[in-house]
Amino acid sequence: MSWLPILLLGAIAFVLAAFVLRLPRAGWSILGAALMLGLAGYALQGHPGYAGAPKAAPDTMAQTGAAMVDARRQMFDPDQPAGEWITVADGFARNGDYEQAAGFLRAVIQKNPRDGEAWLALGNALVEHANGMLTPAALYAYEQADRALPGHPGPTYFLGVALVRSGRLAEARSLWLEALEKAPADAPWRESLQERITRLEELMVQMGAQ
């Protein structure tokens, strides 16, 4: 019985072409042959009796957004949560809607141009919206975040991540090394940044070998 819908569709296609679209009689035989060829191919490769098993593709955009938000928040004092509208923007970023996130963050910055975390979150949202590429707008956001957060590792760290994702590994390494040299000896994030630099250098060696 599963073949009936296939044969019926073929017949309907022939009728539509021949009588509704008024295909000349000279082309009927060609059309019929094409339809029969398609049915023959389906007979060889198709499995109409198999049950469908659709699978949802993983929402990688949302996963990346959530990871970026969590990584950013870990660099700030947990006793000082992000502002209300930054939190709303983070919600959109966690769902992979970076355009909406950026819109809320721009509104925050218009109210308070010195909000360093808003600038940093905006840079991340713009990079994600551009599929990991460091755009001029994102670079500007990171620069403003660095000015508003002097000595904070966030702008340098995420700018380096964006450079790596854009394929600019040497620039990212130089940026992170400079940040490490300027960091206080007791900075809690020194070890994490050093680990990142080591992994990046290993990657650069592997790519050089390839």
Same domain, 65 and 121: yes
Q: Identify the pLDDT of residue 81.
A: 86
Q: List Cβ neighbours of 189 (8 Å cut-off, separation of 6 or more).
A: 75, 153, 157, 183
Rounded Cα gap, residues 139 and 143, in angstroms: 6
Query: Rounded to an integer, what is the distance from CA 53 to the centroid of its chain?
Result: 26
Domain count, the chain: 2
Q: Range of 31's domain?
A: 3-45
Q: Is the pTM of this model over 0.95?
A: no
pLDDT < 50 stretches in the chain? 1, 44-45, 50, 52-58
Q: Identify the pLDDT of residue 55.
A: 45
**Tokens at residue 100, please?**
């909406």
Contact between residue 200 and residue 172 where contact means Cβ atoms under 8 Å apart: yes
Same domain, 35 and 65: no
Same domain, 97 and 185: yes
Which of 54, 12, 198 is closest to 190 using CA atoms?
A: 198
pLDDT tens, 10-45?
666 666 555 555 556 655 565 566 566 565 555 544
